[in-house]
Amino acid sequence: MIDCDVHNDWASAEVLLPYIDPNFRDYLVRGELPGPRGAFPHAHRPWLHPEGFRRHDIKPATQEEHYTLMKEHLLDRYGHDVAILTGEEALEVSTLANPFYATALARAYNDWLIDYWLPKDQRFKGSLIVAPQDPKGAAAEIRRLGHHPDIVQVLMSSGSYRPYGDTFYHPIWEAAAEVGLPVAVHLGGQGGVNYNPIGCGPTTFFWETHAMLCQTGMSHVASVIAHGIFEKWPDLYFIVIECGVAWLPAILWRLDADYKALRKETPWLKRLPSEYAQDHIRLSTQPLESPENRQHLWAVLEAMDGKNMLLFASDYPHWDFDNPHQIPIPAGWRENVLDLNARRVYKRLPQSVNSGQSAVGS
């Protein structure tokens, strides 16, 4: 079983001090922080989770316990074969005005990931976090570390300055294609230099906002398709993590209809938006929608070929964690969604299913 969204946190952002570019080390040691010493430099979003966004039953007291509790409460409990680490606050570098500082922080995080986390457990695979507001620096970082055998994707926050198909970001896509990594977005980056993540301006409450953050996934899906990312780099996948899934059919139907009417705007496209999505876009399951009538969800998942489009994610250790034994998908889809689909997209994973998969295979 492959879990595509596991958060490897730090006890304090000071773990980055040995790794950060000396030119920026002083910023972290003496510079302004959005919290006490040990806080990570970023522009926090204006929506504050009224319960805190972490599970209250998981309380690591030391840096080491971030791993040991994860091993006990996630990896060993559910029989994970692979846990793809997606960082935690490091994604928020996308909110900083200074792109050079943002890239320095992302580089320090990536070195810490490779040095501290990846060797800890054979089940770990890593995401290379980049600062999208610095496409040149992000591309350099992808070329610096993107060939590491345990790095499986490039990761950016879904909150952004522009939708990611924009030509501004093409150096990032080009570098990812060059090193053979898929590009993913994960919920985050909803503040600072980034545009409001939701259409029509700031929402008010956390729950309202959290529900609406699926719009970030929609905007990027539309943008990467329209800009022809998959014509320019036909081997790339784009993975949308933690933005929900059931909105996809409606969005693709709209994109197909509008593209058919006005395709002259994007002459580089050769296929329907929904066809690019089918071959190049994947969504992680968590938080999977869960209506009272499960048949309603399944009809929507069927319409988007969920059996082949979905990648299981738990979002451990966050408040809305999904238990792999309980996600509401048809029984016959479990092997695909919990395992095979991820192996197709994350090409550095072993391509055969090992014995651990049986733990969730029914």
Residues 155-194 binding its own copies (CB under 8 A) are 158-163, 165-166, 194
Q: Does 222 bind its own copies (CB under 8 A)?
A: yes
H or E element in which residue 341 lies: helix 341-345
**Bridge partners (DSSP) listed for residue 96:** none
Q: Which stretch binds its own copies (CB under 8 A): 148-156, 172-180, 195-203, 233-241?
A: 195-203
Give ∠ CA 214-306-152 in degrees, rounded to 5. Answer: 75
Q: Does 279 bind its own copies (CB under 8 A)?
A: no
Contact yes or no for 133/162 (Cβ under 8 A): no
What CA–CA distance (Å, rounded) separates 313 from 318?
12
- DSSP class per residue in 125-189: EEEEE--TT-HHHHHHHHHHHTT-TTEEEEEEES--SS-TTSGGGHHHHHHHHHHT--EEEES--
We find the least distance from the C-beta atom of residue 29 to its own copies, in angstroms, to be 33
Q: Does 255 bind its own copies (CB under 8 A)?
A: yes
Encoded one letter per residue, x for contact with its own copies by CB under 8 A and - for no contact, window 303-322 reads x---------------xx--
Encoded one letter per residue, x for contact with its own copies by CB under 8 A and - for no contact, window 54-93 reads ----------------------------------------
Q: Does 271 bind its own copies (CB under 8 A)?
A: no
Contact yes or no for 3/82 (Cβ under 8 A): yes
Which residue's CB is nearer to its own copies, number 146 or number 189?
189
What single-letter DSSP state applies at residue 114?
A: I
We find the least distance from the C-beta atom of residue 323 to its own copies, in angstroms, to be 15
Query: What is residue 53's three-state secondary structure?
Result: coil
Q: Does 43 bind its own copies (CB under 8 A)?
A: no
Q: Does 27 bind its own copies (CB under 8 A)?
A: no
Q: Does 244 bind its own copies (CB under 8 A)?
A: yes
What CA–CA distance (Å, rounded) separates 269 from 264?
9
Q: Does 122 bind its own copies (CB under 8 A)?
A: no
Structure-token pair, residue 224: 């990467």
Which position among 22, 36, 50, 332 is part of the footprint of its own copies (CB under 8 A)? 50
Which position among 150, 256, 349, 359 is part of the footprint of its own copies (CB under 8 A)? 256
Q: Does 253 bind its own copies (CB under 8 A)?
A: yes
